[in-house]
Amino acid sequence: MGAVESDDNTAETFRRNFDGEVIEKDIRNVPSFEMWDDADVVVGGPPCQGFSNLNKTSTEALSDERNELWRHFLRAVEDIDPDVFLIENVSRFLKSREGARAVKIAEELGYTIVVDTLWAHDYGVPQKRKRGFVLGSKLGVPFFPEETDEETRTVRDAFGSLPHEPSEENWHVSRKRVTELSKRRFQEVPPGGNRFDLPKELMPDCWKNKERGGTDLFSRLWWNLPSVTIRTEFYKPEKGRYLHPEANRSITIREGARLQTFPDDFEFVGARTRVAPQIGNAVPPKLAYHLGRAIKSHLEGKKSRINPEAETEHDIFKKSFRIGKQKQSQLATFSS
């Protein structure tokens, strides 16, 4: 097993939890990946910030140097020549020119490509997280895992057993520097509430005359529902729906990790503000497990349930490929 990671803390986290070599540098500065040419599977998550829905630029006009890093991932795929590869990104990637180019290049390398957007809560993750995936194979038509049969897991399932007061142990730590004004604001947000529940005198000036906009800013999670997407600064309630369902504080690093389905014995390296991005940028381990099982089944010869003749209205991908339990997927093989 091997990995490329430019962030020193994230690289060390990988070393602590997995038995494998880590090349600690920018992937653009890695001249060759042929030392791993015996690998059967290559997976990667090129930075998604340029494609994020938080980026208000239209999909067609996206311009961000990070948007080109998928090319270096495919350079690794070309050098290693694995049987299967998997790319993870925000779903917007699949609607971009870069997504289309990635699929086209991979097909030119001899891969059969399928793509889909998956919701993490369909796979046992207590979080409404939607991500796009590009899956390629030289062994035939690959496939994604079907949704699990288990009931949707909730915030309470994830960390209801943790004490409301952070223990300051095993990353059950909350934001350290909280102003008195912020504490007063926390107290005014009811269960499931948001910034619109604040009295005018406690609102920042930028919110006072803004009656529309995101309702997840400065909001409380619900005990009986999955969480919203856990991002890299989930310890800041002004960034999203990251207030504890009851306690007057933001969720802790451990609570965020549990919403992502990291086990409590997973070892993170770095300061709190360096660990949170490791959690928020990750594919939820439970979703990764189901993806891994599907890839393993494909490698062992299981046939895909693709329907290559089905038509869709998607502007880039024209054929559907995955028939889930309740709906037919809408994306698949590249159309030029």
Q: What element of type H or E holds 135?
A: strand 130-137
Strand partners, 78: none
Compute CA 196 distance to the chain's CA centroid, rounded to the nearest angstrom.
28
Q: Dihedral of CA 218/224/225/227: which sign? A: positive
Nearest CA to 310 out of 302, 298, 322 is that of: 322
What distance in Å separates the CA atoms of residue 172 and residue 72, rounded to the nearest whole number?
Answer: 37
Helix 97-108 with 70-80: angle, nearest 10 deg: 10
Q: What element of type H or E holds 23?
A: strand 21-23
Active site residue 206: no
One-letter amino acid for residue 321 of the chain? F
For residue 221, give every residue at least 6 positions away whose Cβ sits within 8 Å of its Cβ, in sequence order, or none.
155, 227, 228, 241, 242, 243, 244, 245, 251
What distance in Å separates the CA atoms of residue 58 and residue 64, rounded to the nearest whole number?
Answer: 12
What distance in Å separates the CA atoms of residue 90 and residue 97, rounded to the nearest whole number?
Answer: 14
One-letter amino acid for residue 141 of the chain? V
The β-bridge relationship of strands 41-44 and 84-90 is parallel
Nearest CA to 96 out of 111, 81, 118, 115 is that of: 115
What distance in Å separates the CA atoms of residue 66 and residue 13, rounded to the nearest whole number?
Answer: 23
Query: Annotated catalytic residue: which of 4, 27, 42, 48?
Result: 48
Q: Which residues are tagged catalytic?
A: 48
